[in-house]
């Protein structure tokens, strides 16, 4: 079940909100939300829900034992090692077994050794996300950043909470734990959550789907038939698609959580306005960046060691960040590509950038980001290199069979312009301007303006929701690309 399905929007979510609202005590609400979350996951993964339950039980038991051991003691470290081995082993088996064997068999062929063949392994949806949440629970408990929660329902709800289980944001246990015990649900928060959910649905259904449909067509063109303009259009479309697809889903997750009384961290902060790669990673997939910072980069020593060790730590983090996204060399190279630019900026590039005109810095960051997205999107490193060569002008296509006019329609150009505009902090700017305008008016006129603006926002949200439903009904293309990861 996904957020943009009619079953979710018109049956599951309304029923969950209604029952949750009628249940007045947090403990009973938690029981209900745990059942609802397991049902939500089982709807698309009826067998893998057993794996999810096993992960909950395993981490609850280990977390309880770790909580009784003192931080730094040998017993506590051993228990943490067991927990990490279990969680990462689960991830390695389901996500990386075939990748490892494929590379191993490549070496075996050189030595004329028979290949090792195993049956296909189904990758459970959301495995990377709920495994990282489970690791957060283990480490936060070990570090005593949060008290030990002896109620398995609270731990189970944290790991399986349906707004976050498929694609994040990756909320750490210490951030969510207090809300599992007690939370309030003001009407204003509920309204804000609904608004955020509708905005996210519009991003996903209207913009991301429009960009993704044409981006897939362009990336399916044989490399020999690519032209520079088509290669650039494909990179631009995917750059917009992945942002509106993932940030739209994150908006929906944040909105739905808020409607249920949970406040979870922001995941995006207009990443395409960044003027450096370092700034980009402060704005893109923020919860994942913070997870790697707190649970990998800092334990490795962070930037408290020698310069060489700091650069090693950065490359290690981005190697694993790429690998986390998928079992492919494309993702690993994408991660190392970003890590390399972060090192170059630390070596003095960032100081140099500060002396350059801001629009040029912005173009630099966007150029690096788009090259990275080509690596990320392509099916192989060979395809990525051919696409990048075409973008650089070394294309072999003649434009007869695949020409720009077929792909870049007037409608798509309009969507691109809207997407570029909405990739900037336009919404906060308009909200601040509205606030200043109202505050500058006498009380009676300010009240009237507030009513007018509120009615306008309501009308816009109703129109956006209706348009999203129309797209859902008419457009067959609406995948969520982060389900791959």
Q: Of 183, 209, 243, which residue is a domain's last?
A: 183
DSSP string over 309-335 = HHHHHHHHHHHHHHHHH-SSHHHHHHH
| Residue 441 resides in a domain | no
Q: State whether 215 and 160 are in the same domain.
A: no
| Residue 347 resides in a domain | yes
Q: State whether 164 and 208 are in the same domain.
A: no
Q: State whether 208 and 246 are in the same domain.
A: yes
Q: What token pair was written down for 51?
A: 């794996």
- Residue 485 is given by DSSP the state -
Q: Which of 20, 285, 290, 325 is catalytic?
A: 325
Q: State whether 142 and 92 are in the same domain.
A: yes
Q: Residue 22 CA to chain centroid, in angstroms? A: 32
| Torsions phi, psi for 472 (to 5 deg) | -60, -40
Q: Give the tens place of pLDDT for each residue, 51-70.
A: 999 999 999 999 988 888 76
Containing domain of residue 242, as a range?
189-422
Q: Of 400, 422, 444, which residue is a domain's last?
A: 422
| Residue 440 resides in a domain | no
Active site residue 325: yes
* Tally of domains within the chain: 2
Q: State whether 284 and 388 are in the same domain.
A: yes
Picking from 297, 286, 248, the residue whose alpha carbon sits closest to that of residue 264 is 286
- Using only C-alpha atoms, the chain has a radius of gyration, in whole angstroms, of 24
Q: State whether 196 and 339 are in the same domain.
A: yes
Picking from 190, 248, 233, the residue whose alpha carbon sits closest to that of residue 471 is 248
Picking from 480, 484, 481, 485, the residue whose alpha carbon sits closest to that of residue 1 is 480
- Cα–Cα–Cα angle for 254, 476, 285, nearest 5°? 30
Q: State whether 90 and 209 are in the same domain.
A: no
| Tens of pLDDT, residue by residue, the chain (485 residues) | 788 888 999 999 999 999 998 887 778 899 999 999 999 999 988 888 999 999 999 999 999 888 887 666 778 889 999 999 999 999 999 999 888 888 888 787 777 777 777 778 888 888 999 999 999 999 999 988 887 777 889 999 999 999 999 887 999 988 898 898 888 888 888 999 999 999 999 999 999 999 999 999 999 999 889 999 999 999 999 999 999 999 999 999 999 999 999 999 999 999 999 999 999 999 999 999 999 999 999 998 888 888 888 999 999 999 999 999 988 999 999 999 999 999 999 888 777 888 888 999 999 999 999 999 999 999 999 999 999 999 998 888 777 788 888 899 999 999 999 999 999 999 899 889 888 888 888 888 888 888 898 899 999 999 999 999 998 888 655 556 655 55
pTM tops 0.75, yes or no: yes
| Residue 449 resides in a domain | no
Q: State whether 54 and 117 are in the same domain.
A: yes
| Residue 485 resides in a domain | no
Q: State whether 367 and 269 are in the same domain.
A: yes
Q: State whether 400 and 316 are in the same domain.
A: yes
Q: State whether 172 and 259 are in the same domain.
A: no
- Spatial neighbors of 352 by CB under 8 A, at least 6 apart, are none
How far apart are alpha carbons 227 and 373 in whole angstroms? 18
| Residue 243 resides in a domain | yes
3-state SS, residue 407: helix
Q: Of 379, 404, 422, which residue is a domain's last?
A: 422
Q: What token pair was written down for 136?
A: 């957060």
| Residue 429 resides in a domain | no
Q: State whether 158 and 226 are in the same domain.
A: no
Query: 139 exposed, middle or buried (CB, 10 Å; 0-12, 13-18, 19+)?
Result: buried
How far apart are alpha carbons 208 and 410 in whole angstroms? 17
| Residue 325 resides in a domain | yes
């Amino acid at each position: 079940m996904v957020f943009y399905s009619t079953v979710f929007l018109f049956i599951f979510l309304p029923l969950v909100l209604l029952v949750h609202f009628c249940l007045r005590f947090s403990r009973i609400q938690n029981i209900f939300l745990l059942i609802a979350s397991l049902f939500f996951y089982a709807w698309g993964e009826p067998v893998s829900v057993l794996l999810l339950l096993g992960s909950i039980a395993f981490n609850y038991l280990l977390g309880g034992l770790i909580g009784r051991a003192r931080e730094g003691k040998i017993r506590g470290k051993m228990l943490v090692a067991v927990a990490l081995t279990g969680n990462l082993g689960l991830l390695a088996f389901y996500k990386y077994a075939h990748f490892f064997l494929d590379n191993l068999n490549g070496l075996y062929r050189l030595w004329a050794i028979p290949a090792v063949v195993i049956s296909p392994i189904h990758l459970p949806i959301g495995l990377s996300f709920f495994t990282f949440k489970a690791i957060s629970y283990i480490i936060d408990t070990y570090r005593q950043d949060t008290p030990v929660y002896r109620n398995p329902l609270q731990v189970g709800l944290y790991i399986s909470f349906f707004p976050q289980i498929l694609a994040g944001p990756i909320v750490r246990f210490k951030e969510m734990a207090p809300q599992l015990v007690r939370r309030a649900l003001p009407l204003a928060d509920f309204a804000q959550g609904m608004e955020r959910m509708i905005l996210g649905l519009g991003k996903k259904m209207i913009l991301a789907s429009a960009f993704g449909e044409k981006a897939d067509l362009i990336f399916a063109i044989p490399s020999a038939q690519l032209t520079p303009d088509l290669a650039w259009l494909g990179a631009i479309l995917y750059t917009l698609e992945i942002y509106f697809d993932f940030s739209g889903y994150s908006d929906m997750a944040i909105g739905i959580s808020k409607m249920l009384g949970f406040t979870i961290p922001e995941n995006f902060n207009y990443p395409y306005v960044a003027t450096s790669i370092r700034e980009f990673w402060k704005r893109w997939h923020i919860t994942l960046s913070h997870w790697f910072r707190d649970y990998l980069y800092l334990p490795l020593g962070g930037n408290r060691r020698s310069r060489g060790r700091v650069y090693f730590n950065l490359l290690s983090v981005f190697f694993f960040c790429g690998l986390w996204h998928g079992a492919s060399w494309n993702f690993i190279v994408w991660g190392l590509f970003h890590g390399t630019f972060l090192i170059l900026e630390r070596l003095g590039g960032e100081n140099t950038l500060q002396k350059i005109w801001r629009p040029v810095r912005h173009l630099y960051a966007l150029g690096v980001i788009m090259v990275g997205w080509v690596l990320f999107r392509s099916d192989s490193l060979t395809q990525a290199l051919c696409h990048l060569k075409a973008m650089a002008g070394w294309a072999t296509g003649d434009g007869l069979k695949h020409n720009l006019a077929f792909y870049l329609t007037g409608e798509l150009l309009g969507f691109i312009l809207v997407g570029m505009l909405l990739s900037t902090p336009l919404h906060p700017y308009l909200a601040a301007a509205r606030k200043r305008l109202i505050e500058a008016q006498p009380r009676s006129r300010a009240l009237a303006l507030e009513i007018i603006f509120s009615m306008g926002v309501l009308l816009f949200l109703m129109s956006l929701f209706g348009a999203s439903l129309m797209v859902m009904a008419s457009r067959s293309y609406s995948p969520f690309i982060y389900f791959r990861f």
